[in-house]
Structure 1
Amino acid sequence: MFAQSIIELFEMLPILLVIALVVNLLLRLATTAAQPARDYTYQPRVSVLVPVYNEGANILNTLNSIISADWPRDKLEIIAFDDCSKDDSMMYVRQVADAHPSLVRVGSNEKNSGKHLTVLNASRHATGEIFIIIDSDCIFHEDVIKELVACYGDERIGAVGGSVGITNINDNVYTMSQAVTYFKSFQLGKLPQMAQGGVSCISGCLFSVRASIYRDIEPDIHNLSWLGVKVRAGEDRFMTHIVMLRGWRTTINPKAICWTSVPNTFNVLFKQQLRWSRSALRDTCWTLATLPTNFRTIGVNRTLTWLMPYVLCILVTLFFFTCIPVYGIGVFWYGACIGVLFGSIHSILMALAYNYYAPKLMPGSVKISFPLKVGLFQAWGIVSWMLHFMALLSFDHDVWGTREKAIIPAASNEDVDQKYPVELTNLTTEQSM
């Protein structure tokens, strides 16, 4: 009887996924959830904070896309802060700073400290009312600043994110599948949270926040840790949650578009997803431990909307692995087969939907060349499930994720660094992890 209940549970999961997808589509088409209130007359000074690490010449595309954005030059500043890159990234940053000395400022950490502390160090030199924090491989759509900032016309909004597209969609099946996942998340998946004014995780690719709020949460960012161990990954989810706990609303404007590259090898994708799973589980455990505070400050409905999927994921994962010793490995293979079959059908349909809707909703999107390949990639769902279990038993790693690689330092860096001895002073080691 119990084994039969397990089988029925597995058979119910695809149905629940379809129901969730239909609800999200209805929210997208029949409500204004994806259209937050915007006031384009609100034009405060904006500081774009760019943490730099091992980007090489790619950083030129990032900085030039910010410079080309549709925003008044006298109300814009770019602060590029290096975290001890091992390559020639800063040589290219200096080139842009030389060409735009009134717009771009440059600084660096005294030692490698991670993205969250690099951004924090950069923020201490910022003068804007709105901070836009991005990844150093992020490419701006020309309207992205205007679309993000317009949302702050609503005085209840504390942080705003955008929609993230993929630049290397057709590299292989890994990147095609991620393009579908990103599209589903930013254009559909977050809509129930957006409708309630409480998005649980604004992507670190494109994270904007009121400067006054960021100053207020600086101590929390600096002391980011888990069970007494300092961690680096998941700063975007952590900051979003902290902003909400301060009583502010968080949202996403799907019309604020940026582009980024995603992992195109299994090894790098695995490490990325493991980091994301760790941060989601850390936040879930933290939320459960402080549930009364979350209910009181964020609200019961908003908290449960984003909390319950993660709680169910943890419970199902633990339940599943507990059942294997009792009912045998057959339970695993049965669940895996159902997941792959229905997941493949779902993913192919989503890939086709992406090819139709993405160019309309995110101008500049490239279509997936082989949608059927996305369906074949659903074996990744088994790996993803295993990741949740691994994440429960592991801590963060002291690296910069996908940018952490052994690179020979560029000989030109020493000469370039000496050109800016005082424009932005390095912070003391006390301010680094």
Structure 2
Amino acid sequence: MNEIISQITVYTDKMRGTSPGESFKLSNLLIFKWLKCLFVFLNKSKKITIVSTITLLLFGVSFLIYSHLATGDIYLLDPSSFHGRALFFLTISLLIFKLGFFSFLLVSYSKYKSVKTVSHEQLPKCTVIVPAYNEGKQVYETLISLSKSDYPTEKLQLISIDDGSVDDTWYWIKKAQEELGQQVIIFKQPKNMGKRAALHRGFLEATGDIFVTVDSDSIVQPSTIGNLVSPFVTNENCGAVAGNVRVLNKEKGLIPQMLNVSFAFSFEFIRSAQSLYGSVLCTPGALSAYRKTAVMNCLEDWLNQTFLGNKTNIGEDRAMTNMILKQGSDVVFQKDAKVYTDIPENYRSLKKMFTRWERSNVRENIMMTKFAIGNYKDGNKLAPRLILANQWIKIVFAYPALILMLIFLMSKPLLFLSVSFLGILLFSSIPAIFYYLKYNNVKDSLLAYTYGVFYAFSLFWITPYAIATAGNNKWLTR
């Protein structure tokens, strides 16, 4: 904190007597440092963060009301002009679609039921694959947690693969094997070849009828694996199952705390609704299960997938999900199959993770559209297409929204910010209410509003940037 304040003082001193161009550059750096200082301050107290967020949102709404009462001007564009009418029509159309889509998700969520864990006798032979790269001791913790699974030992195979780590990851993998014996089989890649290549090796070495993939920075509960694979027993058409990802390091900063609330909504609400139609769009890398035959049907295509002429190295989870959906298989969600995973604790790491996710989303939305418009599966195909259409809305309007935002920020900054705060207040209420009803925790549920402000003003650029750089396959966090 003191270091940041010192840097702010230095930049302020430098601005005196500089050229306009240099002054502009320094002013941008100054704003960034002030924001970083504010974030560090808010990171120290959840109560201060929540109170600040709610105050900011209410101030924005109050200014909007004041503007209406004082001047009657609450429009970003003249409603009588062509552009004003076009913007109004577009906004109302999108709002109607979004409200309709939310209603569709809400009804679907209300009908969702997770599959109960089947008996030990019914459980299939299962191989759990844990790829690791520079994870250190965390991979050891992951393997130990898996070894404590309430799953028949003779039916459970553990495989861990060191993907050419340059730290002590291999030491901790070998230590886990020393403690667990033949329960875990270990391999070391000759060099860092990427997560997809490591998983590919695991799939080829696996002996189970079901493949489970777990990230090396994740911890499972004893009941997780049994619950995760149960849908394969009760549904012969089940090709993949998505686990319920929660935040392991949620007490280590504001970002993990916010994402804990966001993850609860995106997994337990959105994926539950998608699961009703067997059309969960992404089985997360942190915890997923696949039927062996479904994986083997597409394994080489998955390993050698290309996009824009380049071999893909990111988004292996979404790619595998798409290829299994394409086979006409169901992809479902198990809310009781929980995994706790480490997520970024700072903005720099978070933006890299989101950029990687968004790039793979752009690619896989294109891939899914190619088969989703056809007769790719039996039964309901309208619901999956509606889910896909909602994905496209975000991509299609990313640049128009960005351009409009910049125009309004320059022409009517206070009014635009007030309208933005009103939107955040309304739409963030959905995950906030969901989290409160699910976990009866008022303080944590209010962090949905903080995340709404945080995303709107510091992560809004991710989707446009990901679209422009969709062909970039860099992992970023490696």
Q: Which of the residues 176, 194, 202 maps onto 2:257?
A: 176
Q: What SS does the corresponding residue of 2:376 show, helix, strand or coil?
A: helix
1:34–1:326: structure 2 CA closer, same or farther, 3 Å change rule? Answer: same
Q: Which of the residues 113, 127, 130 maps onto 1:47?
A: 127
Bigger relative CO (Cα 8 Å, ≥ 6 apart): 1
Cα distance in 1 for partners of 2:447, 2:327 equals 44
Corresponding position of 2:192: 112
Q: Is the 8 A contact 1:177 1:377 kept in 2?
A: yes
Corresponding position of 1:202: 283
Corresponding position of 2:344: 263
| 1:93 alignment partner AA | I
| 1:173 alignment partner AA | L
| 2:462 is aligned with 1:387 | yes
Where in structure 2 are there 5+ consecutive unaligned residues? 1-81
Cα distance in 1 for partners of 2:446, 2:407 equals 37
Q: What SS does the corresponding residue of 1:341 show, helix, strand or coil?
A: helix
1:334–1:288: structure 2 CA closer, same or farther, 3 Å change rule? Answer: farther
- Between stretches 189-198 and 110-119, larger displacement belongs to 189-198
- Between stretches 70-79 and 14-23, larger displacement belongs to 14-23
| 2:445 is aligned with 1:376 | no
Q: CA deviation at 1:355?
A: 4.6
1:327–1:255: structure 2 CA closer, same or farther, 3 Å change rule? Answer: closer
Cα distance in 2 for partners of 1:24, 1:47 equals 33
1:67–1:325: structure 2 CA closer, same or farther, 3 Å change rule? Answer: closer
Q: Deviations over 1:304-350 (max 9, x none)?
A: 13210122112222333465798884489866643443324543563
1:78–1:323: structure 2 CA closer, same or farther, 3 Å change rule? Answer: same
1:231–1:330: structure 2 CA closer, same or farther, 3 Å change rule? Answer: farther
1:227–1:56: structure 2 CA closer, same or farther, 3 Å change rule? Answer: same
| 2:164 is aligned with 1:89 | no
Q: Deviations over 1:285-310 (max 9, x none)?
A: 223344544x4347631431321012
| 2:314 is aligned with 1:233 | yes
Cα distance in 2 for partners of 1:12, 1:340 equals 21
Q: Which of the residues 401, 406, 425 maps onto 1:320?
A: 401
Q: Deviations over 1:385-419 (max 9, x none)?
A: 421111111145555443x2xxxxxxxxxxxxxxx
Corresponding position of 2:361: 280
Q: CA deviation at 1:4?
A: 3.6
Q: Is the 8 A contact 2:435 2:445 kept in 1?
A: no
Cα distance in 2 for partners of 1:84, 1:356 equals 44
Q: CA deviation at 1:238?
A: 0.8
Q: CA deviation at 1:110?
A: 1.5
Q: Which of the residues 77, 86, 109 maps onto 1:28?
A: 109
User: Aligned ranges for residues 348-367 of structure 1 at < 5 Å?
Assistant: 350-351=431-432, 353-358=434-439
Corresponding position of 1:61: 141
What TM-score does the superposition give when structure 1 sets the normalisation length? 0.82
Cα distance in 2 for partners of 1:126, 1:139 equals 21
| 2:269 is aligned with 1:188 | yes
1:71–1:291: structure 2 CA closer, same or farther, 3 Å change rule? Answer: closer
Aligned length: 393
Q: Is the 8 A contact 1:144 1:258 kept in 2?
A: yes
Q: What SS does the corresponding residue of 1:170 show, helix, strand or coil?
A: coil
Q: CA deviation at 1:162?
A: 1.3
1:61–1:351: structure 2 CA closer, same or farther, 3 Å change rule? Answer: farther
Cα distance in 2 for partners of 1:50, 1:389 equals 33
> Percent same amino acid among aligned pairs?
23
Q: Is the 8 A contact 2:239 2:290 kept in 1?
A: yes
1:319–1:91: structure 2 CA closer, same or farther, 3 Å change rule? Answer: same
Q: CA deviation at 1:271?
A: 0.9
Cα distance in 2 for partners of 1:189, 1:247 equals 21
1:4–1:175: structure 2 CA closer, same or farther, 3 Å change rule? Answer: farther
Q: Is the 8 A contact 1:340 1:381 kept in 2?
A: no
Q: What SS does the corresponding residue of 1:233 show, helix, strand or coil?
A: coil
- Between stretches 225-234 and 342-351, larger displacement belongs to 342-351
What TM-score does the superposition give when structure 2 sets the normalisation length? 0.75
Please identify the structure whose Cα radius of gyration is greater: 2
Where in structure 1 are there 5+ consecutive unaligned residues? 360-366, 405-433
Q: What SS does the corresponding residue of 1:282 show, helix, strand or coil?
A: helix
Q: Is the 8 A contact 1:336 1:382 kept in 2?
A: no
Q: CA deviation at 1:124?
A: 1.4
Q: Is the 8 A contact 1:170 1:369 kept in 2?
A: no
Q: What SS does the corresponding residue of 2:251 show, helix, strand or coil?
A: helix
1:25–1:311: structure 2 CA closer, same or farther, 3 Å change rule? Answer: closer
Q: Which of the residues 130, 134, 158 maps onto 1:78?
A: 158
